[in-house]
Amino acid sequence: MLQLHVIASGSKGNAAIIKDSAAEAALLIDCGICKRDLIAGCVGAGVDPASLTDILITHDHSDHTKGLGVAVRGLTKLGAQVTIHASPAVRAVSGPVEEALGTEGVSFHPFRAGDALSAGGMQVHVFRTSHDAVESFGFRVEGEGEGWAKDTLGYLTDTGCVTPEAHDALQGVRLLALEANHDVQMLREGSYPYLLKQRILSDRGHLSNDQAAAELDQLLSCLGGTMLEQVVAMHVSQENNLYLQAQEALAQVLALHQHPASASVAKQKTPISLI
DSSP symbols for the chain: -EEEEEEE-STT--EEEEEETT-S-EEEE---S-HHHHHHHHHHHT--GGGEEEEE--BS-HHHHTTHHHHHHHHHHTT---EEEE-HHHHHH-HHHHHHHTSTT-EEEE--TT-EEEETTEEEEEEE---SSSSBEEEEEE-SSSGGGS-EEEEE-S-SS--HHHHHHHTT-SEEEEE--B-HHHHHHSSS-HHHHHHHHSTTS--BHHHHHHHHHHHHHSTTGGG--EEEEES--SSS--HHHHHHHHHHHHHHTT---EEEE--SSS-EEE-
Taking the least distance from each CB to Zn ion, the nearer of 63 and 248 is: 63
- Could you tell me the smallest distance in angstroms from the CB atom of residue 21 to Zn ion? 28
The least distance separating Zn ion from the CB of residue 205, rounded to whole angstroms, comes to 9
Nearer to Zn ion by Cβ, of 95 and 102: the residue is: 95
Q: Which CB, 11 or 152, lies closer to Zn ion?
A: 11
Shortest distance, position 131 Cβ to Zn ion, whole Å: 5
Which residue number, 106 or 156, has a Cβ lying nearer to Zn ion? 156
Smallest distance, Zn ion to C-beta of residue 62, A: 9
CB of 30 to Zn ion, least distance (A): 8
* Closest to Zn ion by CB, 137 or 152: 137
- Give whichever of 20 and 158 is closer to Zn ion, judged by the CB atom: 158
**Shortest spacing between CB 130 and Zn ion, in angstroms:** 11
Binding footprint of Zn ion on the chain (CB under 5 A): 61, 63, 158
